[in-house]
Amino acid sequence: MTKLTRRQALSATVAFGGVSMAGGLLGSPRPAAASTEITAVEWGGDVVDAMKQIEAKQNQVKVNWVLHQGGSGAILPKIKASWPHPEYDYVSGWEGSFNGMVKEDWLVPVTTQTVPNLADIPQKIIVKNGKGEWAAVPRAIGGIYCAYRKDTSPIEIKSIDDLFDTRLKGKICWPGPTQAMMLPLVALALHGGGNENNMEPGWALMKKLAQSGNIGRVGVTDTDFSTSLTSGETSVGYYSEPQLTAVAKSFPVVRLTKQEGVPTFLYQSGFAILKNRPNLEATLAFVNFCISPEMSTLYAEVAGEAPLNVKAKTPDALKHLAFTPQEFDKYVYVPDFNVVLSQQDAWSKRWESEIAPLL
Amino acid sequence: MGRKIDDLFSGLGRVMNGFIICFLIIPLVVTSLMAFDARPYLGPLPPPALSTRWFSKFFSDDYFLRGLGVSLELALISVCLSVCIGVITAVALDRSNSRARELMTSLFLSPLIVPPVVTGFAILIFLSKLGVVNGFARLLCGHLIITIPYTIRATLNGVLGIDKSLTEAALTLGARERHAFWDITFPLARTGILCGGIFAFVVSLDDVAISIMLTDAKTYTLPVALVSSMRANFDLTLAAVSVLLMGLTLALIFVLEKTVGLNQIIGQGTFR
Amino acid sequence: MKRAPSIFFYLPASVVFSVFFWLPLGGLLLESFRPFTPGRIGAVSDAPLTLANYEELLTPSFLEFFMQTLRISLFASLVGLVFSFTLAYWITRRMSPRGRAIAVGFFVSLMFLSVLVRTYALELTFGAAGPFRAILLSFGVYPNSRGYIEVLVAAGLLHYIVPLATLTLLTTIQNVDPRLFDAAQTLGAPGWRAHLSVTLPLCRDGLLAAFLFSFAFSISAFVIPMILGKGRVLFVSNLIYNRFSEIADFPSGAAISAVLFAVSITIVYLTTRYVNRREAG
C-alpha cells in the first residue's frame, strides 16, 4: 500500500469519526446458532472490560476470554507451537503483531460479505495479505505521540528540540526497542530531515539524546511507562495511547498531538481471525457486531481508543485523536508500515549496540 | 591483640547483620503500604490515603481465584514430586565419586542458569511436537524443571554435612542400609530437604516467565492472571496478594511453633 | 561396604531432565542455526543451517553486555554469601531456640514476597523518586547515574539471594562441630583465624551451594534488571527477551541463550571443581 492512500484513509476516518452518526442497525445479518462458544485473546484492563460489555449486548456468542500476557507478542510462539491447530478464534492485535501472523498465513481473509460492517471502515487502513486480500478487521485507532505531565515537568515542551533541554535531565521515559514500533525514533529522523527510509538523522539525534542524560528510563513493558510517570520518576515521554491514558486518568497530561514539528503517529487495534477453527461463522458474526457503529462507540468510551467506524461517535475524552483533514495533513505522519515493520529486528539490534551503551 | 581483633570482627558482624535486616525489612514495609494504597496507580511514597480495595478486588474476581486454585495445585504437586526426586538424586550424588558428583551437580543445576523465558519457550515447542497441549501438564513439566534443581542441591547440602562415621557406625553395628538411611541420614538431612521443599514451593508459586509460555486458554496460574490483567496501569492487587501470602506463611509458622515447635520441624543438625 | 547401584538412583532425575530440559534445549539449539527473515515468526522449519546468528554477536557492545551481567551477578553472589554466612552463623550459634525459630520464620516468609512486587518496592524506596533521594543527593550520589543504577540492580538481586543463601547455610552450620572451633582457640588461635581455618572449610559444601543458587538466580534474572536497571543497565536475559517479543527473532534469541548457557555452566562446573579439589588437596 502506498503512503498516500494510507494517509487519505486515516484522514477520512478521523474526520468523520467526530461526527455523530450512531444509531445504525444492530446485529449480524447472518446470525450464528444460539450461544456458540468462541475463544478470544484480548488485552487486560479497560479493553477486556469493554469487550465484556459488548458481549453482554448480544446472545449468539459466548466468549471465553483469554488475556494477552505481557504485550501482544507473547501469544505468537504459542500459536506457532500449536499450528495448524490453534486454540483461539480471534486474537486482538495491531499492525505490529498482525504483520507476523499475515506472513505466517494464519489469518482468514475477510470481505464485506463475511463482515458487512467493514463497509463503514475506511478501507485503506485495512491490513492486506500477499494476495491483496483484507487480512484483519480494524476496530479503533490509537496514537503514539509526545506528552508530558504538566505538574512535574520542569519545562513546557513545544518541539523536539526541547527534549534536549538540560533541565530535563533524567526526566524522559523513552520507549525501548520492542515498544511503539520504535516510531519515536522515526520522529527524530523526521526532525533531522530523514524518514523511515533514511534513518541516519534519527540515529544521530537518538545518540545525542542518549548522551544528554535526559533519558531516565527506557520503557520495555506496557506498564513501565505509566508506572514511571505516576511514581514521579520521569515526566516526559513519546509513547502510545493506552499508557498515556493510564497516566492521564490521575494526572494532568499535555498531549502534543497537534503541535507542529512534533509528529504524531496513529496505529490500529483490531481482530485477527485464525484459520482452522470450528466456529468461524460465529466468530465473524461477533467481530462484525463489535465494529457496528453503536458497539464501536461503546468500545471507544470504555477502552479509550478512537472509533474507526465512520458512523460511530468519538467521545470527548478522545478529542486529541480527532483531526480535521487539514490538521491531519499537518500533524500526523503516516510512515510506510511495511518498511517500519521489516526494520524492527535490525533497528532493535542497532539500538542495543549503539544506543544502549550510551544510556 | 587477637582478642581486640575478635571484638572488632564481632562488632562489625553485628552492625552488618543489623544493616542487612533493615535492608530486607524496608521493602516488606513498602509492599504493605502498596497493598493498602488507595490510589489507583503506583505513586510516590507515602500513600496519602489507605484502603482495602486491592484485597476486595482480589477476592471478588473469579479470574484471580481460579488462577490461585491452579497455582496452589501446581505448587503442591511440583513440591511433592521434586522433593522425592531431589532426595533420591542427592543420595546417588552422595555415593558417587567426586568427579562424577562435580559433573552431575553442575548439570542438575543447569535449568537455573537459563533465563526462564527461554526454558518456557523450548518446552512449549518440544511438547507441542509431542502432541502435549494440555495446559496443566505443560505447566507441571515447566515447574518441575525449575524446582528440582533446588531440591537436589539443598538436600545434597544436608546429606553432605553429615559425618560419614555415623552411618558407617550404624552399618558396622549391623543395621541394614535402608534403616541407616531412615534412622540417621534422613533426620539429619531434614533441614536441607525442608529448605529445598520451601524453595521449590516458592519458585513454583511465583513463576511468571515460564508459565506465560505454557498456559492454555483455560488453565493459567495466579501470577500470570495478575500480570495479564494489567494493560497499562500497574495493578496493586499484586502487592495485596504478596501481603496475603506472607501473612498466611507467618500464620502457618506461628501455628507450627505453638503446636509442634518450629525447631522440631526444621530439624537440628548434629550440633545444634 | 555394600552399596546400592547409584545408576538406579539417578534414573528419575535423568528422565525428567532429558525429556523436559535437554531435548527441548536441543531443539532450541537447532533453531539458533536457522536464518531469520524479518516479519516472520521464528525461523522457517526447513531453512538451511547458518552461523549468522552467532556471527552477529561478535561485537564489542555485546561483549560489554555479557561482562556487565557477569560482573553484577558475581558481585551480588559474593556479597550475598558474606552477608548470609554472617547471618546464618549468628542465628545458629548466638540465638536462643525461640529466636532461631523467629528468624527462620522471617526468612521463609520473605521468600514468599513476589519478585515483581519486591522489585517495585525497592524501586519506590531507593529509586529516583523515592524518599532516599534527598539523602543520596546530599552524599553526592545522583540517583539517575549509571553507577547507582548498577548498585540498585545488585541490591535487587541481593534481596532475593540473602534469604535463599541464609536458609541454605543454616543447614550446613548446624552440622559443624563447634568443639573444633573451641579446640583451635584453646590452642591459641584468635577467633577470626579459627573461623578462617576451621569453620569456613567445614562449611565448604554449604557455601558452594549457596553461591551456586545465588549465581544461577542472578545470571538468569530478568525482572530485576528490567525494572531496577531502567532499560539502561541490561542483562543478557533482557536482550533475549527482546527477541522473544513481537519481533519474534527466535533464532537470534536462541543463539544468545546458547552462549549464555555455555559460559554459565562452565563457571558453575569450574567453581564446583575448584572448591572440591581444595578439599582433597
Mean pLDDT of C237-266: 91
The string of pLDDT tens digits covering residues B145-203 is: 999 999 998 898 888 777 777 777 777 777 777 777 777 777 778 888 888 998 999 99
Q: Does B104 touch chain C (CB under 8 A)?
A: yes
The string of pLDDT tens digits covering residues A97-108 is: 888 899 889 999
Check whether domain A3-142+267-331 has CATH 3.50.50.100, yes or no: no
CATH assignment at residue C175: 1.10.3720.10
* Comparison of pLDDT for C281 and A292, the residue scoring more: A292
DSSP conformation class of B181 = I
Note which residues in 102-121 of chain A have CB less than 8 A from chain C.
103-104
Residues of B at the A interface, defined by Cβ within 8 angstroms: 39-44, 121, 124-125, 128, 133, 212-213, 215-218, 224-225, 227-234
Candidates C246, C250, C252, C256, partner chain A, best to mutate (most A CBs within 10 A): C246
DSSP conformation class of B182 = I
| Residues in A touching C238 (Cβ below 8 Å) | 220
- Above 90 in pLDDT, residue A116? yes
CB contact under 8 A, A242 and B232: yes
Q: Count of A–B CB contacts within 8 Å?
A: 89
* Comparison of pLDDT for C125 and C279, the residue scoring more: C125
Q: Does C201 touch chain B (CB under 8 A)?
A: no
| Residues in C touching A349 (Cβ below 8 Å) | 56, 252
**Closest partner CB to C246 (pick from A72, A103, A342):** A72
Q: How much is the pLDDT for B258?
A: 77
**Residue extents of the structural domains in chain A:** 3-142+267-331, 144-265+339-358
| Residues in C touching A356 (Cβ below 8 Å) | 61, 65, 232, 234
Q: Does A17 touch chain C (CB under 8 A)?
A: no
CA distance C6 to chain B (A): 5
**Closest partner CB to C124 (pick from B45, B154, B195):** B45
- Above 80 in pLDDT, residue A311? yes
- Which residue(s) pair with A215 in the sheet? A172
Contact yes or no for A314/A300 (Cβ under 8 A): yes
Per the structure, the count of domains in chain C is 1
CA-nearest of B192, B208, B142 to C210 is B192
Q: Count of A–C CB contacts within 8 Å?
A: 112
> Does ipTM exceed 0.90?
no
CB contact under 8 A, C130 and B102: no
Note which residues in 136-165 of chain B have CB less than 8 A from chain C.
141-142, 144-145, 148-150, 152-154, 156-158, 160-163
CA distance B218 to chain C (A): 22
Chain A: partners with 3+ C-beta pairs within 8 Å: B, C
| pLDDT band at residue C132 using 50, 70 and 90 as cut-offs | confident
Say how far apart CA B17 and CA B12 lie, in whole Å. 9
Say how far apart CA A290 and CA A58 lie, in whole Å. 10
CB contact under 8 A, B41 and A230: yes
| Residues in B touching C171 (Cβ below 8 Å) | 154, 157-158, 161, 191-192, 195, 269
3-class state of residue B215 by DSSP? coil
Q: Does B122 touch chain C (CB under 8 A)?
A: yes
Cα C103–chain centre separation: 23
The string of pLDDT tens digits covering residues A143-159 is: 899 999 999 999 999 99
* Comparison of pLDDT for B114 and A33, the residue scoring more: B114
**Closest partner CB to B40 (pick from A70, A227, A250):** A250
Task: Identify the weakest region by mean pLDDT among A3-12, B44-53, C218-227, C249-258.
Answer: A3-12
Q: How far is CA B146 from CA A210, A340, B99, B116, C70, in A?
A: 38, 38, 24, 8, 21
Question: What are the grid coordinates assigned to A172, written together?
Answer: 524522559
Chain C: partners with 3+ C-beta pairs within 8 Å: A, B
Q: How much is the pLDDT for A22?
A: 37
- Above 80 in pLDDT, residue C196? no
Q: Does C183 touch chain B (CB under 8 A)?
A: no
Note which residues in 16-75 of chain C have CB less than 8 A from chain B.
16-17, 19-21, 23-25, 27-28
Say how far apart CA B75 and CA B153 lie, in whole Å. 19
- Above 70 in pLDDT, residue A219? yes
Q: Does C238 touch chain A (CB under 8 A)?
A: yes
Q: How much is the pLDDT for C135?
A: 83
Say how far apart CA A29 and CA A36 lie, in whole Å. 16
CB contact under 8 A, B3 and C115: no
CB contact under 8 A, C231 and A224: yes
Task: Identify the weakest region by mean pLDDT among A31-35, A49-53, A64-68, B104-108.
Answer: A31-35
Average confidence score pLDDT of chain B: 86
3-class state of residue B45 by DSSP? coil
Mean pLDDT of C28-51: 87
| Residues in B touching C27 (Cβ below 8 Å) | 122, 125-126, 129
**Closest partner CB to C120 (pick from B42, B152, B245):** B42
| pLDDT band at residue C280 using 50, 70 and 90 as cut-offs | low
Average confidence score pLDDT of chain A: 85
Note which residues in 8-67 of chain B have CB less than 8 A from chain C.
9-10, 13-14, 16-17, 20, 23-24, 26-28, 30-31, 34, 42, 44-46
Q: How much is the pLDDT for A328?
A: 84
Q: How much is the pLDDT for A175?
A: 92
Mean pLDDT of B50-73: 91
Q: How much is the pLDDT for B267?
A: 63
Q: How much is the pLDDT for A164?
A: 94
**Closest partner CB to C113 (pick from B31, B149, B198):** B31
- Above 70 in pLDDT, residue A25? no
| Residues in A touching B213 (Cβ below 8 Å) | 74, 77-78
Residue in chain B closest to C86 (alpha carbons) equals: B13
CB contact under 8 A, A353 and C234: no
| Residues in A touching B124 (Cβ below 8 Å) | 77-78, 81
Q: How much is the pLDDT for B265?
A: 66
Q: Does C94 touch chain B (CB under 8 A)?
A: no
| Residues in B touching C215 (Cβ below 8 Å) | 113
What's the Rg (C-alpha) of chain C? 23
Chain B: partners with 3+ C-beta pairs within 8 Å: A, C
Q: What predicted TM-score, i.e. pTM, was given to this entire model?
A: 0.89
* Pairing verdict, β A265-273 and A36-42: unpaired
Q: How much is the pLDDT for C205?
A: 85
Q: Enumerate the CATH 1.10.3720.10 domain ranges in chain B, comma separated.
A: 62-227
| Residues in C touching B268 (Cβ below 8 Å) | 174
CB contact under 8 A, C246 and A96: yes
- Above 50 in pLDDT, residue A12? no
Residue A89 neighbours by CB under 8 Å, 6+ apart: A38, A39, A40, A273, A274, A277, A279, A280, A282, A283
Q: Does A219 touch chain C (CB under 8 A)?
A: yes
CB contact under 8 A, A356 and C232: yes
Q: How much is the pLDDT for C279?
A: 63
DSSP conformation letters of chain C: -----HHHHHHHHHHHHIIIIIHHHHHHHHHTTS---TTSSS--TTPPP-SHHHHTT-SHHHHHHHHHHHHHHHHHHHHHHHHHHHHHHIIIIIS-HHHHHHHHHHHHHHHTS-HHHHHHHHHHHHSTTSTTHHHHHHTT--TTSHHHHHHHHHHHHHHHHHHHHHHHHHHHHTTS-HHHHHHHHHTT--HHHHIIIIIHHHTHHHHHHHHHHHHHHHHT--HHHHHHTTTTS--HHHHHHHHTSTT--HHHHHHHHHHHHHHHHHHHHHHHHHHHHHHH-
The string of pLDDT tens digits covering residues C81-124 is: 999 999 998 988 888 888 888 888 889 888 888 888 889 899 88
| pLDDT band at residue B266 using 50, 70 and 90 as cut-offs | low
DSSP conformation letters of B190-214: HHHHHHHHHHHHHHHHH--HHHHHH
Residue in chain B closest to A48 (alpha carbons) equals: B229
The string of pLDDT tens digits covering residues B228-252 is: 887 777 888 888 998 998 888 888 8
| Residues in B touching C223 (Cβ below 8 Å) | 208-209
| Residues in B touching C167 (Cβ below 8 Å) | 195, 198-199
Q: How much is the pLDDT for C1?
A: 42
CATH number of A144-265+339-358: 3.40.190.10
Look at the domain B62-227 and name its fold: MetI-like fold (1.10.3720)
Say how far apart CA C147 and CA B261 lie, in whole Å. 46
